[in-house]
Chains A and B, each alone.
Chain A
Amino acid sequence: MWKGFTHLLKKDLKMMLSGKFFLLALFSLVLYSCYINLVYVNLEQEDYQVYLFDPHGASARQDAPSGQNEHVTDVGSRQELENACADGVSIGIDLSAGTPEIYMLSSGTQTADHYRTEWGKAVLTKIMDEKAVLSETTDHEVEIIGAFDKEQKSRREITCEFLFFELSAVGFLGLASILFKEKQMGVIRVHGILPVHKAAFILSKLCVFLLSDLFFAILLTFINIGFGEGLAILPGILAQAGILSLVMALVGFLCAVWLPDFKQFSLFYLVLAVFITTPVFLAGQTGVSWDWIIFHPMYHLFTAMKSAYFGVATTSFPFYSICAGTTALLFYIAYRVLAREMTKEG
């Protein structure tokens, strides 16, 4: 019965290559890589801009050495100062009246406004008293404990997120589309009467998608992290990508067999994309904390993937046990559902 497995594998490979999803993966790879290399690594959040309105030349700034005041920009009028501060980030200092005034548009968050005031006060101290509050501290006052610089971190972070998204959303769609094609053509029914084990039908598809996902992960990692650094973290990434790929492919398989048509499947997909991946993305990208996120299974897969990208291997035994158990359970359900579908169609 297992002799037909290689034929199934060949057939699934051919179907995947002939489909547009292969091109889509290639397109995604190019798109993600362009975005990472051309846009994301260049993203920066600059220091607060300080705008100074000093019509009477009250500040001692002209004589001050440059450096800590590099973010201070002179403006010609109060109106100009207010306009410059309209972004809710910049800080204005108005020296036109007797008492200096720190002016700002609220950012909407009280603590952020307070911190901006502290910053403005420090700049004002420098301007009025020539006391360099904002000069950088000495080494013993600040300690750098991380292993990566901003660019390395950005590359790893975003590459991880793109890979996670690609595997959880696109891979899922890819397998389902092939299965729907087979369903429409009626060949699932044909497989019901072929001398091939039903499990081989599922396994061949899983193998094809696992291989393609791993290949995608390797390319995405090497292109965006670099060969040397990428190679060092690759085993961990492949392990996590493999787990995610298998789980998502099995979920895709189940849905494709269960749901009667592609339209219904796409509904399910929409719900999955919005409700399942969005919170994970928000939690991962913005550091927003939700107490309930620990009950989100995808969050743990995402965290493990992220750890792999930052060179920290997930060694938690319960994590791998749950992953293995889930995969086995999904495979069993997929097997049962497929058997029922074959009987039904037959």
Chain B
Amino acid sequence: MRRIMKRLTYQLKNLRKDKLCLLTFLLPIVVGIVINVLPTMNTQTLGEMSFGCVKSDLPAKTVRWLRENGTLTEYGTLGELETAVNDPATQMIGVLRSENGIRTLLSGDELKLYETTGKTLPRLYDNRMNKIAFSQTIVPIRSNYDGLKSLLIVITLVTAMFMGCTFNSMNIIGEKEDGVALVNQILPMGTGDYILQKLTLGFIGGCASTAICAFLCIRIAPAQIPPLFLLIVLSAYTASLIGLFIGYFSSGLMTGIVYIKILMILFLAPPIIFYLVVPTDNVVFPLSYLFPSSAAFYGLMDVLGGQAHRPWLNLAILAGHAGLLSGIYFLIMAKKRKRQ
């Protein structure tokens, strides 16, 4: 054990001097700090309805009502409002005064929720005065995070988790480039020892980077710590396994970097897009679980959202990915040994 630790220490020392690994390690931490201190960021826009109106067109009570229900941006002219409504990056609904109340402007390219909102808004506005008797219970979210901030934190944490693959893949590729891979073949070291060493490298890197980042960005209830811990551990293990694959299949540094780049796109883009756009009950949604990062992403969102009971499904999916990838890697190694 002492000797294994000694070897690992030298491997970590080697990685510590690798600028790419160092940057990979520090980058999520720096981004985490930036997220915490960036004051100019408008972090209250996700999940809200976005309304636009022409300045001085709407009565004060309408403006107030709209502001109660979403963000309201005022434009100088109707043309400016129309441009904003037509901006494909937004789902803005234009609101104008009409004889009986309000009328709306839609671009026609909105997602269904916003389209329905645009089409029913005048009726909802009329209904505001309806004195129907009802009581209301809004269960507060057990989280200190608003939509965009938690999204950015989770993106950073998932990046840190899956960037763990950089540590061991760069180590393996570096060994290939420096020729140490050839030396490894004549060392009294079993395949198991080798896999364990490389797996631990990626795991330590991914875990440490994510843990520091989480420490900087997240303040959660003690009940959320176990699922967060398990999410970090499982994701770092999965990332480390992916690092082994990248190291195995990369012929050189350039190829390795390209593989990591593709992987990061594949691992980061789908969960973000699915999270933002696809409701969880949509039939397409489970497709995102094809990527292990999605389970980590949704799990972290749940942890940040204070929903301690939900991460377990994501943890199970993540564990499934880890098991499957482990199996594939060991199969490849067994096949390689057999071929030899």
Indicate yes or no for A touching B, C-beta below 8 A: yes
Within 8 A of B (CB), among A250-277: 262-264, 266-267, 269-271, 273-274
Residue B23, interface by CB 8 Å: yes
| Chain B interface residue number, banded | 35 or more
By a CB distance below 8 angstroms, the chain B residues around A317 are: none
By a CB distance below 8 angstroms, the chain A residues around B316 are: none
By a CB distance below 8 angstroms, the chain A residues around B111 are: 43-45, 150
The segment out of B88-96, B185-193, B210-218, B224-232 that lies at the interface is: B88-96
Contact of A102 among B23, B136, B276 (CB under 8 A): B136
Contact of A145 among B23, B85, B89 (CB under 8 A): B85
Instruction: Report B34 CB to chain A, min CB distance, Å.
Output: 9
The complex places the Cα of A21 from the Cα of B281 at a distance, in Å, of 39
The complex places the Cα of A129 from the Cα of B130 at a distance, in Å, of 11
Given contacts A119-B124, A135-B123, contact A111 B48 (CB under 8 A): yes
Instruction: Report A229 CB to chain B, min CB distance, Å.
Output: 14
Complex contact B137–A104 (CB within 8 A): yes
The complex places the Cα of A135 from the Cα of B282 at a distance, in Å, of 24
The complex places the Cα of A329 from the Cα of B161 at a distance, in Å, of 40
Residue A216, interface by CB 8 Å: no
Within 8 A of A (CB), among B115-154: 115-124, 126-128, 130, 132-141, 143, 145-148, 150
The segment out of A10-18, A206-214, A217-225, A280-288 that lies at the interface is: A280-288
Given contacts A88-B141, A112-B47, A263-B253, contact A145 B105 (CB under 8 A): yes
Complex contact A291–B40 (CB within 8 A): yes
The segment out of B65-73, B196-204, B237-245 that lies at the interface is: B65-73
By a CB distance below 8 angstroms, the chain B residues around A24 are: 258, 262
By a CB distance below 8 angstroms, the chain B residues around A135 are: 120, 123
Contact of B113 among A48, A154, A263 (CB under 8 A): A48
Complex contact B104–A115 (CB within 8 A): no
Residue A77, interface by CB 8 Å: no
The complex places the Cα of A119 from the Cα of B68 at a distance, in Å, of 13
By a CB distance below 8 angstroms, the chain B residues around A290 are: 40-42
Q: Report A148-192 CB contacts with B as 1/0, cut-off 8 Å.
A: 111011101100000000000100010001001000000000000
The 3 nearest A-B residue pairs measured at CB: A153-B109, A146-B107, A45-B111
Across the two chains, which residue of chain A brings its CB closest to B309? A86
Contact of A42 among B94, B114, B284, B310 (CB under 8 A): B284
Q: Report B1-45 CB contacts with A as 1/0, cut-off 8 Å.
A: 000000000000000001110011001000100000000111011
Within 8 A of B (CB), among A115-159: 115, 117-119, 121-122, 124-125, 128-129, 131, 133-137, 140-150, 152-154, 156-157
Contact of A105 among B31, B141, B277 (CB under 8 A): B141
By a CB distance below 8 angstroms, the chain A residues around B253 are: 262-263, 266
Residue B98, interface by CB 8 Å: yes
Complex contact B88–A153 (CB within 8 A): yes
The complex places the Cα of A101 from the Cα of B139 at a distance, in Å, of 13
- How would you classify the secondary structure of chain A's contact residues: helix, strand, loop or mixed? helix
Q: Report A37-48 CB contacts with B as 1/0, cut-off 8 Å.
A: 001101111111
Complex contact A87–B280 (CB within 8 A): yes
Instruction: Report B275 CB to chain A, min CB distance, Å.
Output: 11
Contact of B45 among A45, A136, A288, A310 (CB under 8 A): A288
Residue A289, interface by CB 8 Å: yes
The complex places the Cα of A270 from the Cα of B236 at a distance, in Å, of 20
By a CB distance below 8 angstroms, the chain B residues around A150 are: 108-111, 115
By a CB distance below 8 angstroms, the chain A residues around B45 are: 286-289
By a CB distance below 8 angstroms, the chain B residues around A119 are: 124
Known: A20-B255, A102-B136. 14 other contacts (CB 8 A): A44-B111, A45-B114, A99-B134, A101-B135, A105-B139, A107-B141, A108-B141, A108-B143, A111-B48, A112-B70, A115-B49, A121-B134, A145-B82, A145-B85
By a CB distance below 8 angstroms, the chain A residues around B92 are: 287
The complex places the Cα of A141 from the Cα of B102 at a distance, in Å, of 7
In the assembled complex, 13 residue pairs joining A and B whose CB atoms fall closer than 8 Å, in A order, are A21-B258, A45-B114, A48-B113, A104-B138, A111-B67, A111-B69, A112-B49, A115-B117, A134-B120, A141-B104, A145-B94, A146-B86, A270-B23
Residue A113, interface by CB 8 Å: yes
Complex contact A108–B127 (CB within 8 A): no
Within 8 A of B (CB), among A32-86: 39-40, 42-49, 86
The complex places the Cα of A102 from the Cα of B277 at a distance, in Å, of 25
Across the two chains, which residue of chain A brings its CB closest to B252? A262
Given contacts A87-B280, A106-B139, A109-B48, contact A148 B119 (CB under 8 A): no
Given contacts A111-B68, A112-B48, A121-B132, contact A142 B103 (CB under 8 A): yes
Complex contact A142–B122 (CB within 8 A): yes
Residue B317, interface by CB 8 Å: no
Complex contact A114–B68 (CB within 8 A): yes
Instruction: Report B266 CB to chain A, min CB distance, Å.
Output: 8
Complex contact A285–B89 (CB within 8 A): yes
Residue B106, interface by CB 8 Å: yes
Contact of B147 among A109, A117, A147 (CB under 8 A): A109
The complex places the Cα of A49 from the Cα of B47 at a distance, in Å, of 15
Instruction: Report A266 CB to chain B, min CB distance, Å.
Output: 5
The complex places the Cα of A115 from the Cα of B254 at a distance, in Å, of 51
Complex contact B119–A274 (CB within 8 A): no
By a CB distance below 8 angstroms, the chain A residues around B130 are: 121, 125, 131, 133
